[in-house]
Structure 1
Amino acid sequence: MKRNNWFIALGIFWTVVFSCVSFYWAMGGMFGVRSLGGSIYEMSLNPDPSFILIVWLTGFIKLLGLILLLMLFVPWTKPKMTSMLYHLTKIIGALLILYGLLNFITISLSVFNILEFELDSYATFWRLTFWEPFWIVGGVCYFFPIKRG
């Protein structure tokens, strides 16, 4: 297996930024929340303690990806561990890409009135130009950090 240190570094950066956004929102920060739109934005205006807990938990769950990416720097002596990390990063990368892509498609369909979403034009714009592409970029960072050969 060959490591691509650039993708690992980008993945680490992406993961830290992504989790820090959750921590910022969990501490009550509101910058960027409106860009999510829908019920998440509504809940953030007057959050229950359970909602805040969920936002904190999502930040910590996102940090698990950091551990995974850092494990790619370890020179594992057992091929099974390297193989497991290879497959795990591929699966996570594919899921992140798929999530961003499916959201992008469904939100785009709502723009053309094919689907109906509870997103205002502000949230729709930011979801299509930032959030969904951000998920896809993260997926690419997880999908390509190591390759066979």
Structure 2
Amino acid sequence: MKRNYWFITLGISWTVVFSGISFYWAMGGLGGVRSLGGAIYEKSLNPAPSFVVIVWITGFIKLLGVVLLSMLLVTWKNSIITRILYYVTKIVGALLFLYGLLNFVTITLSALDILDFNLDSYATFWRLTFWEPFWMVGGIFYFFSVKKI
């Protein structure tokens, strides 16, 4: 498998920032949380203990991406592991990108009053200019971390 070390590094950095945001919010930080809008923002204002646990768990789940990308740096003697890492990385990258893209499309449709979402204009702006593109950029980093098997 050919590796793109530049994209692996960018992907690891992106993942650390992404999980760090979750940890910041799990510790009670509110900076940037309004930009998410909707129910997540409402729950973050007076979070139930179960909500805080979920935010912590999402932070740790996101960190699994660092493990995945770091495993690409190992030269595996077993070709099955190499193939699995290749396909898992490609699939994760595609899913991250598609998640951001589909959210971008649906939020845009909501902004055009075609769909009805519970997002104010502030959250809509930040979701379209930061959050959804952020997901897509992460997907690009993961997807292009590996080349041919």
Tell me the matched-pair count.
149
Is 1:111 matched with 2:111? yes
- 1:32 equivalent in structure 2: 32
- 2:75 equivalent in structure 1: 75
Q: Distance in 1 between matches of 2:7 and 2:80?
A: 22
One-letter amino acid of the structure 1 residue matched with residue 8 of structure 2 = I
- 2:129 equivalent in structure 1: 129
Q: Give the C-alpha shift of residue 143 in structure 1.
A: 0.5
Per-residue CA deviation, residues 40-90 of structure 1 (Å, 9 max, x unaligned), is 000000000000000000000000010000000001001111110000000
Give the TM-score, by structure 2 length: 0.99
Matches within 5 A, 1:1-149: 1-148=1-148
One-letter amino acid of the structure 2 residue matched with residue 42 of structure 1 = E
Runs of 4+ in 1 over 6 A off after TM superposition: none
One-letter amino acid of the structure 2 residue matched with residue 132 of structure 1 = E
Q: Give the C-alpha shift of residue 26 in structure 1.
A: 0.1
One-letter amino acid of the structure 2 residue matched with residue 114 of structure 1 = I
Which sections of structure 1, spanning at least 5 residues, go unmatched? Answer: none
One-letter amino acid of the structure 2 residue matched with residue 43 of structure 1 = K
Q: Distance in 1 between matches of 2:81 and 2:117?
A: 43
One-letter amino acid of the structure 1 residue matched with residue 99 of structure 2 = Y
Q: Distance in 1 between matches of 2:61 and 2:135?
A: 15
Q: Distance in 1 between matches of 2:45 and 2:139?
A: 30
Q: Distance in 1 between matches of 2:144 and 2:42?
A: 36
Percent sequence identity over aligned pairs? 71
Q: Distance in 1 between matches of 2:107 and 2:86?
A: 32
